[in-house]
Structure 1
Amino acid sequence: MFVMKPEYSCIIAEDHPRCRNTLIQYATKLGLRVVDTPGSGNALIDAVFKFMPDLIITDILLDRMDGITACKHIQRQGFAPPVIIVSRSTEPRHYSAGFELNSIDYINLPIPYDRFAKAVAKAKHRIEQHKTLSLLQQDAQNYIQVKHKYRTVNVAEKSIVFVEKVDKRRFEIHLTDGTIMETSTNLERIQDRCSEWIMTPHRSYLANIKHIETVIPDPIIQGNYLIVYPHINQNIPLTRRNYDHFLRLVHKLKITEAF
């Protein structure tokens, strides 16, 4: 099941059980959702690109690959969530490396809760700043032209939830305000005029990635999925052929919204 949730998610990379448990306890108390707790730098990289967290909390002295090297690798791939470093190391080179990462804070063990809480609050503020900037950049709306009642009208792409093919010459555009606009403009032409965030989940539909909250396995057709729209009480099919493309777009969207 794929679910997009609004709360802040984090990964805690720590190979010492006692310290890891403390960090999990503190993070949970501060409203973070811990999605994974890798113990090595390699596992941290894998976890980040699997869960795309809002925040990384990492030790430096991890197994196989250190936390600093892992975070640099992640940033080189274009994904840069805030980082809080928690470590026993007091070496100047590690402090310097943490500064180069633009980390929120470098906290030495044992972990003072008040300082950790302040670092998390600062991280949340940075996340919100990035989201606000992303929304401002999106204000330059992409309007698309479609035929509606024998005339051409402009529709804001961001207001499109999904488009359904009703028959050969009739299509319905479902909008965020709950209205349904009938058009004779076919799916191919609509998609050509939209950004990449309007994808084809099934040959009879278009779906706006930005409005998808939940995807579940299709209970009838094995290997296929359903895009669930609970607020309008409707599901649309997502075929196994298009599922990987859907995941790539979601991954890319999270990277885009991180800046």
Structure 2
Amino acid sequence: MKTKVFYIEDEPNLGKITYDTLKLQGFEVVWETDGGKVMDHFDAFMPDLCVLDIMLPNVDGLSLCQQIKSRYPALPIIFLTAKTDTDDLVKGFEAGGTDYMRKPFSIQELIVRIKNQLTIHQVQATVSNNDNEEVIIGEYKYLPKRYELIAPSGTINLSSREGELLQMMAGKGSQIIERKDILMKIWGDDSFFNSRNLDVYVKKLRNYFSEDENIEIQTLRGKGYLFLVRA
């Protein structure tokens, strides 16, 4: 069965090239140029992933992303932006985007990111289920029941708190996870002392995943974290 991609882009030349290339690569693609028309045929197509431009006529990409995620919260969305301001990227992730690309972009890179987002989506579904025996995260394997993280160089035995933090972060995939949410769920309150503890545990996880350069725990100051696994 072909992977379904809903592509929303109003630039005709870029849209046609991207649409044709994705089709040639074996994807089933619907291409829409008007943000106001997307939801009219979204349910009928039921995509596996969306590639969404931020600047669109009638309904902008951020608003559209929020509408889509309100109905399909687990759907991966790669948003495209010509903007370079970090605040705009944060807004995109807050709206529900799970990855982003800046224009102009390589079609080959877009295809890699699409495949990567589908893999992350599978990891999220797996890591959220505590009964699973094994979770693949990049070059690592995680065994939730044993709190064991198997790195290329050997096995790392996690503490229960490290395991909980990893499951919260990996379960969110490329979505912002708020510091306060982590503190309240794992420590029970968001005191200054516990907040400093969280910083220590995040540093530990970064060190554990240092053998795979495609895994990144990104800090968004004043917000929280992104757990990114790139292809």
TM-score (norm: length of structure 2): 0.49
Bigger CA radius of gyration? 1
Q: Which has the higher strand share?
A: 1
> Larger helix proportion, structure 1 or 2?
2
TM-score (norm. length: structure 1)? 0.44
